[in-house]
Amino acid sequence: MLNSIKKKYKYIIVAGALIICTVIAIVLIGSMKSKGSTSEIDSEEVIGKVDETVEIIEPIEEPIIEPVPEPKPEPIPEPEPEPIGPNSKLTALPIHQEAYDRRPIGIMISNIRTALPQYGVSDADIIYETLVEGGITRLFALYQDFDTEKIGPVRSSRHYYLDFALDHDAIYVHFGESTFATAAFRKLDVDRFSGLSYLDTILTFRDKDRKAPHSTFTSKERLMNTWDLLKYRVEPDYEENKFDFYETDTTPEGATDLAKITLDYSYYIKPVLEYNSEDSLYYRSQFGNKHIDASNNQQLAFKNIIIQNTSIWRIKTDPLGCMDMALNTDGDGMYITNGKMIPITWEKTGHYSPTKYYNEDGSALFINPGKTFISVYPIYRQNKIVME
């Protein structure tokens, strides 16, 4: 009996709970509908309809991102040119102050066929040419403001070339020397760099592609290193200048035309200097070809040409046939520039006084700014000079 009553109440309790849950569910559903809930909206009702309470969000267009160009490298500024200082006493052209404050250097250059090509000669401010033994010539090239890496071939000195060095207070550079040059160096106390000495590897280097004795060269760096070692005076002596210069390019009054000159030194060498009206320079040829500097492939060219005639002779007592010449004296010659020529005279009063040049009326000769070629020419061959 008791068990049946418990089962009866159990059913009543369960049924009551179901009724209560059903009531609560109805109340909740009604509440949701009253609040406009869309949780039970059929899918069919959604199609073609928009609930006014739903915000329509337009699609956002993604911005087009332009590629960022790679930054261009900053241009490397060109180095500023070194400031140019005063005018050179050799050319009357502006040079660096450091070079102006330093004595010139004169280098003995071989000038025979087997010594060609030469290097660094186009950088010289002044070039002298005169005879040595056997009818050949050698060049004495003067440098002041230069940065040349190869100069030569360097050859042995001759005693009369010392006067060319003394004319410009220049240090004489050579590789070997005649017995007469040895005596002259001692007598005249000329500062020199001799490659055929303990200075060999400091002053010079060998070009392995060249045959000796035309394989010896020097450079500015080696020249400066040798100078530092020997402690020679650096400051130049400008008390008396060799040249007087025009301030601007000038053609001498009363000059005659001269477009080409051939200097017949001997049976062996007859260099030619020919005028180019485009740049007003005389270009040199020898041995039938243009005289080329192999370091830059440039033909040697000069603004001024001076022909200095003098007595030149063979020293009879010398078994090697060394030459001698009269330089501490006076004589005549020619000055050539701008396709023109005028006759001149010259005078040198002593080893330590520079050679001076004059017009025929005795006034000082002025020459044009630029490079100068000086031919010390044998007076006995004056009639062999060809002028065109």
d(CA 118, CA 289): 13
pLDDT for residue 26 is more than 90 = no
- pLDDT category, 49, cuts 50, 70, 90? very low
Q: Decide: 138 and 128 in contact? Cβ < 8 Å.
A: no
Lowest mean pLDDT among 13-17, 109-113, 277-281, 293-297: 13-17
Distances (CA, A) of 73 to 66, 68, 78, 80: 21, 15, 15, 20
d(CA 28, CA 23): 9
- pLDDT category, 349, cuts 50, 70, 90? very high
pLDDT for residue 47 is more than 50 = no
Rg (C-alpha) for the chain, rounded Å, is 48
Mean pLDDT across the stretch 94-119? 97
31 found inside a domain: no
pLDDT in tens, 285-329: 999 999 999 999 999 999 999 999 999 999 999 999 999 999 999
Tokens of 59: 């699609």
Q: Decide: 301 and 314 in contact? Cβ < 8 Å.
A: no
- pLDDT category, 354, cuts 50, 70, 90? very high
- pLDDT category, 239, cuts 50, 70, 90? confident
Q: Decide: 85 and 102 in contact? Cβ < 8 Å.
A: no
pLDDT in tens, 114-172: 999 999 999 999 999 999 999 999 999 999 999 999 999 999 999 999 999 999 999 99
Nearest to 159 by CA among 186, 136, 124, 135: 186
Nearest to 124 by CA among 372, 377, 356: 372
Mean pLDDT across the stretch 364-375? 98
CB count within 10 Å of CB 323 equals 21
Mean pLDDT across the stretch 85-90? 95
Higher pLDDT, 40 or 221: 221
Q: Is the pTM of this model over 0.85?
A: no
215 contact partners, CB below 8 Å, separation of at least 6: 153, 206, 207, 208
Lowest mean pLDDT among 4-18, 37-51, 276-290, 373-387: 37-51
Query: Does 213 sit behind a cis peptide bond, omega within 30 degrees of 0 on the bond before it?
Result: yes
- pLDDT category, 46, cuts 50, 70, 90? very low
For residue 268, what pLDDT is reported?
97
Q: What is the mean pLDDT of the chain?
A: 87
What are residue 267's phi and psi, to 5 degrees?
-60, -25
119 found inside a domain: yes
9 found inside a domain: no
- pLDDT category, 42, cuts 50, 70, 90? very low
pLDDT for residue 190 is more than 60 = yes
148 found inside a domain: yes
70 found inside a domain: no
74 found inside a domain: no
For residue 80, what pLDDT is reported?
59
What CATH number corresponds to the domain at position 300?
Answer: 3.50.90.10
For residue 84, what pLDDT is reported?
80
d(CA 337, CA 272): 15
Nearest to 127 by CA among 118, 216, 198, 135: 118
Distance from the Cα of residue 122 to its chain's centroid: 12
- pLDDT category, 37, cuts 50, 70, 90? very low
69 found inside a domain: no
Lowest mean pLDDT among 82-91, 111-120, 189-198, 240-249: 82-91
Lowest mean pLDDT among 62-66, 243-247, 337-341: 62-66
**Percent of the chain at pLDDT above 90?**
77
CA atoms within 13 A on the CB side of 186: 6
Q: Which domain holds residue 232?
A: 97-387
pLDDT for residue 360 is more than 80 = yes
pLDDT for residue 213 is more than 50 = yes
Distances (CA, A) of 205 to 116, 215, 220, 229, 254: 17, 8, 12, 17, 49
34 found inside a domain: no
Q: Decide: 103 and 234 in contact? Cβ < 8 Å.
A: yes
Distance from the Cα of residue 148 to its chain's centroid: 8
For residue 79, what pLDDT is reported?
64
- Tally the domains of the chain: 1
Q: Decide: 360 and 236 in contact? Cβ < 8 Å.
A: no
